[in-house]
Amino acid sequence: MSPAAPIRWPAEAIWEAVAPVLPGFTVEVLPTVDSTNTELMRRFRAAGPAAAEPVLLVAEQQSAGRGRMGRAWQSRAGDSLTFSLGMALQPADWSGLSLAVGISIAESLQPALPAAGQPRIRLKWPNDLWLADARDERKLAGILVETASWGELRYVVIGVGINVRALTLDPTPVAAGQAAALAPAALQDILPGVDVAQALALVAAPLVQAVQAFGLFGFAPFQARFAARDALAGRAVQLSDGTEGMAHGVGENGALLVHTAAGMKEITSSEVSVRPLARQASPGSARPC
């Protein structure tokens, strides 16, 4: 088998688009790393302000990628796009940042909303992108936001993992009574032929702009855009603590609004997970960095 062709990353084009509005911005590509989020946090904690210049760190392959609530994930070169954006940020309120990131990525990958019906790329509170069709919903991408402080300086690392290449599952027959596994969602399902480099070119500059806007104005300006792609609105959901209710969108602070037997609850804790009780989403492979 011949070796895979090297990936031609659009680093210069991204730098040219972003540097004028984000001084000091750089793009760095690593062939392999344990986790792009871990690497940027490691640099900041070792050097503080000296390592706080804005950077987009891309990994062709990760060996210890991390998702929300400590979930592990590994990526194979070319199958998925994994990167982290690290920069100093001082919003008045951090609530809703992962939602704003998800909105930016979804709009970059599927800019136009359909005239009727739901968009293919939807947002599942608080940090996932789902790809939907008439039969199922599968995870397309995940987001992991982490912050650290050094004196008055606050540093944020935004990790993104996007399934790009369609994968073929092991055809081994499933046991009696078990449902056949669905292949993870992939960007190629809606953008045939797209590769990881092209995907990065689509999402990188708009993501920086979205994060800058969030730093200035918070989540409120993103609220209606999230509602247009909200995968949970109007659906019965169950929280990880067992509470059940009906999802009613998100508030101006990015909190999930769930109407329960005890009344409306604002769900904000990063330790709470939410799953729909109907039309279960199949597991996907995308995990951020």
Residues marked active site are found at 68, 139, 275
Residues in Cβ contact with 85 at an 8 Å cutoff, skipping those fewer than 6 apart: 54, 55, 56, 57, 157, 158, 160, 207, 208, 211
Q: What is the DSSP letter of 33?
A: B
Looking at residue 47, its amino acid is A
Q: Give the total residue count for the chain.
A: 289
Report phi then psi at 157, rounded to 5. Answer: -120, 125
Q: How far does Cα 197 stand from its chain's mean position?
A: 17
Report phi then psi at 88, rounded to 5. Answer: -75, 140
What does each C-alpha distance from 130 to 30, 75, 125 come to in angstroms? 27, 18, 10
Contact status, residue 190 vs residue 110, Cβ threshold 8 Å: yes
Angle between helices 196-217 and 97-109 (to 10 degrees): 140
Burial class (CB in 10 A: 0-12, 13-18, 19+), 100: buried
CA gap 236, 244 in Å, rounded:
7
CA gap 210, 22 in Å, rounded:
12
Report phi then psi at 59, rounded to 5. Answer: -120, 130
Strands 65-66, 72-73: pairing kind: antiparallel
Contact status, residue 84 vs residue 67, Cβ threshold 8 Å: no
